[in-house]
Structure 1
């Protein structure tokens, strides 16, 4: 009797163990995919909105989102640390907006060697194939659009230009700057170059790091060298707002064309208020959503995205000019950040 009862108990124990193992396996298969998002900073409104978009997409897809950002644009060390921490935390996909397109590559290679899918958002790595895929604006095209608009808005006047750039060697900064020059009809390197084009029409160049305060300081310094400036190119709208503040402080805000890139909600308001003349609008919410969706697809099916996906760009201007297609401020406000 004792032997028979023991065998029955052993059989029951084995059955329960097997059932628990099957249940654990099924639960593991249904675990929320872990996706990381690393932005250049966590304070720039553009990246704040990207984070919001990623969070909404992750919630809709049943994924867990980890987020981090650099202390400032160009802070590669913080991004490397974030990458390593996210891999250790189990992220199978990492969405990355690289601050330093070259310096981040070794860390990306290590993550990919461990089977992590790495997708660049907004900005490419150098080389671009260091990541699995890129979802971004055509930044050169964005520059061309504001250059074309500026040329028409000048109405034949000779340009006296100040450029408030990002920082040396960054591909997005170079692409926007050189696209602007191309649209204006000036000689410039192509979209693949990380070098900024320079001509005699550019009276002063300053690095703004995409920051409003640095943009204002750069513009104040450039006003000493180019007091008769009539055209300002800014890497983004915070830098453009800084430029406007500097002009207003000097009593020179009238009659100066300011063009930028981003198309954020505040930037569009600034276009409507006459602080910025025109801006090229990009869509970080779309980038974030697409990145999260690709990450969830990879986690569940193993399918990887590849190559470059253009997430769109449109010119926003308060006043239309002949020969250049643009959207009015009201439409820009409707679409700002990618609300569509």
Structure 2
């Protein structure tokens, strides 16, 4: 384990230098060397995530840091204070620009909320790559390395539909952050997979939870006060699923509900193994981070830019496989959680 005192001091010094007052900070190395992209100099990679607390973004940050160290790139990681903190991400982008980043990797809180800052960075010659979350339009960044979130949502929906065994769904939907492409794509994909449309009376209730466990628990508790006649729950991510499970458990409803999720972290796979929810759709954030850093190093050396959407894959994880829904069990999931595909 790294020395906490030194790491904390580095973070505080970097935060002071960057004048970041409302963003989290993780600093792996200081900038140094040539700043010219394509000059053969050292890549200077800045990562901006949605938060510093969600395990998914912690894993993505750690993977990017390790990839940067392995490839000889300088690395700085910043984050918003909460899921939806667009202003914090804008400040992080501006500070990375001032510090001479050659590439900025970003998981945008909103598909549109940071576009002006991204545009300024690209006009300044900085390569900007979206990780995990696409911008709207997608061409606002040079490239996107991410899960096909429509496909991941569809896989969750197909599994829940199959697990209901022909019983008509009575569904609660616990969404993410309004305006995020991840939220929209997963929601729409799930409905496609389960065979419903927005506004269908089979959707008993729907609430956003911003990907937060405690908010999700509160929102599900509120929905259950209106009706407990449900048999299915959609959750946008695994912290949301854990919150929903706590609310369902308090009402004694866990055995009557099929719940799915998306993320595929080790804790989430353990939740599936332990029966908190029936299935999760695993993503591969390490692959996103590693490929993003590799592209950043190539850009610094040669000026070559990646382009378009690069799908990093998804896999259903469950110990209760359903016909017609390809899946892996939790043993496989624990061996590969958030690894490479």
Give TM-score scaled by structure 2 length.
Answer: 0.87
Q: Deviations over 1:177-220 (max 9, x none)?
A: 11111111123xxxxxxxxx331111000111001001101110
How far apart, CA to CA, are the structure 2 residues paired with 1:198 and 1:311?
31
> Is residue 36 of structure 1 aligned with residue 56 of structure 2?
no
Matches within 5 A, 1:187-336: 187=197, 197-336=198-337
Are the counterparts in 1 of residues 110 and 181 from structure 2 also a CA contact under 8 Å? no
- How far does residue 167 in structure 1 lie from its aligned partner after superposition? 2.4
Name the SS for the 1:324 alignment partner. coil
Are the counterparts in 2 of residues 147 and 184 from structure 1 also a CA contact under 8 Å? yes
Structure with greater proportional helix content: 1
Give the equivalent residue in structure 1 for 2:97. Answer: 87
How far apart, CA to CA, are the structure 2 residues paired with 1:61 and 1:242?
39
Q: 2:129 aligns with which of 115, 119, 123?
A: 119
Give the equivalent residue in structure 2 for 1:141. Answer: 151
Name the SS for the 2:255 alignment partner. coil
Are the counterparts in 1 of residues 42 and 301 from structure 2 also a CA contact under 8 Å? no
Aligned length: 306
- How far does residue 138 in structure 1 lie from its aligned partner after superposition? 0.3
Matches within 5 A, 1:13-28: none
How far apart, CA to CA, are the structure 2 residues paired with 1:182 and 1:198?
13
> Is residue 163 of structure 1 aligned with residue 173 of structure 2?
yes
Give the equivalent residue in structure 2 for 1:19. Answer: none
Name the SS for the 1:254 alignment partner. helix
Q: Deviations over 1:111-151 (max 9, x none)?
A: 00100000000011111100000000000000111111111
- How far does residue 339 in structure 1 lie from its aligned partner after superposition? 5.0
Larger Rg: 1
Are the counterparts in 2 of residues 203 and 225 from structure 1 also a CA contact under 8 Å? no
- How far does residue 169 in structure 1 lie from its aligned partner after superposition? 2.2
> Is residue 69 of structure 1 aligned with residue 70 of structure 2?
no
Name the SS for the 1:42 alignment partner. coil
Name the SS for the 1:80 alignment partner. helix
- How far does residue 103 in structure 1 lie from its aligned partner after superposition? 1.6
Give the equivalent residue in structure 1 for 2:58. Answer: 48
Name the SS for the 1:298 alignment partner. helix
Are the counterparts in 1 of residues 41 and 300 from structure 2 also a CA contact under 8 Å? no
- How far does residue 226 in structure 1 lie from its aligned partner after superposition? 2.5
How far apart, CA to CA, are the structure 2 residues paired with 1:186 and 1:295?
41
Where do 5+ consecutive residues of structure 2 fail to align? 1-32
Name the SS for the 2:155 alignment partner. helix
Give the equivalent residue in structure 2 for 1:105. Answer: 115
How far apart, CA to CA, are the structure 2 residues paired with 1:198 and 1:68?
38
How far apart, CA to CA, are the structure 2 residues paired with 1:325 and 1:257?
18
Name the SS for the 2:210 alignment partner. coil
How far apart, CA to CA, are the structure 2 residues paired with 1:124 and 1:167?
14
Name the SS for the 1:119 alignment partner. strand
Are the counterparts in 1 of residues 153 and 262 from structure 2 also a CA contact under 8 Å? yes
Give TM-score scaled by structure 1 length.
Answer: 0.88
